[in-house]
Amino acid sequence: MKLKVAVLFGGKSTEHEISIISAIQAIGYLDTSKYDVIPVYMTKNNDYYVGEDIGKIEEYTHIPQLLGKSTKVIWVKDGDKVSLVRYPQKKFGNNVITTVDIAFPIVHGTNVEDGTLQGFLATLGLPVVGCDVLSSAVGMNKYVMKTVLRDNGIPVLDCKCYTWKDYEDVDGLVARIESSFNYPVIIKPLNLGSSIGIKKASDRESLLEALDLGFEFSRKILVERAIKNLKEINCSVLGDYESAQASECEQPVNSDEILSFEDKYIGGAKGSAKGGAKETTGSKGMASLKRKIPADITSEMRDKIRKMAVDAFTCLGCSGVSRIDFMIDMDTNEVYLNEINTIPGSLSFYLWEPLGVKYNTLLDKMIDLTLKADRENHKVVYSFETNVLEGVKLGGGSKGSKG
């Protein structure tokens, strides 16, 4: 019997559209001789839809029409069986659309990539491809991620985190930032991606603008030194806690100072609209970004970055495929880990192809790692026989259960 793989995409995230591209591209490469692939679209309101057209990229130019001819579903867990069930249910006939064996989230951004969706799927008892709740959550929070990495000896830029509460006294906040950092600094919303809400500041006036922008997108922001003479290098890692390998390195080429949303997804995609991956998608997604592969770095630097990437992946407890982004300060030749993307755009397949790993093989490996983790999970004891509830009486004046 084929494994029933539900590929989830979209969702309540600023990177909703990018996820549609990444997921539909991947769906085109999943081996249909091994898997029954069920594309599951999550609306911006996190409602779930399935149907014949849900996996077709060209349908997403008119989403209301697409939803009109598709089926809204909910997840139902009954014992060990997980199903997608029509909602609202029809009075007569079968409402179970399909059962699901494994969930493959290809989603980007807060609310979906950050452990939220992974946790929801885990409560259903489904094996979930990729990072678990904790590594997803830590990977999404730029401050927590850097703190954990720094504690494990992986070089990151010194950074500080501020909240809306600090922003209420904006003059005080500016003074605190100026006492910790020299200009230029960079302001980032704590938990977004795709360069949304990120701005560099080279003086007080532009700092105020950058703070306004950052706090528009998040209740918390991160401040760090802006590297003036920057080279960016990304490297993907595939594996789990036992064994992980690094991919080829890429060097994104930016047209702006900050590698923008347009650079990442729009600029390079022009002219590639037809065909795309395996003739099934309309866009190449992250693979269309202007980039150099392999990156223009020495072999020593390549080795160093690939090792740091694997160390960071392991240290954060990641699994599946992640992309880890580095910044080289060209004035000092120092390398800093900038961020980890636990569900990278296009699943970083284009970084594996140069090493001879085809996209379908990459997807197979991700699924195999998940099945292995699921087998291991079944060996762990999660219930514990206890008589603690026997004879319990909750009365007034009780000190509570923790004693």
Ligand X SMILES: Nc1ncnc2c1ncn2[C@@H]1O[C@H](COP(=O)(O)OP(=O)(O)O)[C@@H](O)[C@H]1O
Residues that bind ligand X (CB under 6 A): 157, 186, 188, 192-195, 198, 224-227, 230, 232, 254, 258-259, 325, 338-339
What is the helix, strand, coil percentage profile of the chain, to 5? 35, 25, 40
Three-class SS state of 299: helix
Residue with smaller CB distance to ligand X, 221 or 367: 221
Q: Which helix (H) or strand (E) holds 334?
A: strand 334-341
Q: From the CB of 157, what's the least distance to ligand X, in Å?
A: 5
Q: How far is the CB of 227 from ligand X (least distance, A)?
A: 4
| Shortest distance (Å) from residue 137 CB to ligand X | 15
* Minimum distance, C-beta of residue 69 to ligand X, in the bound complex (Å): 35
Is 34 or 225 the residue whose CB approaches ligand X more closely? 225
CB burial of residue 276 (10 Å; 0-12, 13-18, 19+): buried
- In the bound state with ligand X, the residue whose beta carbon lies nearer, of 128 and 140, is 140
Least distance from C-beta 305 to ligand X, angstroms? Answer: 15
What residue spans of 156-264 are helical by DSSP H?
164-168, 170-180, 204-217, 261
Residue 145 or 173 having the CB closest to ligand X: 145
Question: Closest CB to ligand X among 256 and 368?
Answer: 256
Closest among 276, 192, 256, 267 to 14, alpha carbons compared: 192
Closest to ligand X by CB, 224 vs 240, is 224
Single-letter amino acid code for the residue at 233 = I
Smallest gap, in angstroms, from Cβ of residue 362 to ligand X?
Answer: 22
Distance CA 91, CA 260 (A): 50
Half-sphere exposure of residue 305: CA atoms within 13 angstroms, side-chain side: 33
Rama region for 276: left / alpha / beta (φ>0; ψ in -120 to 50; rest): left
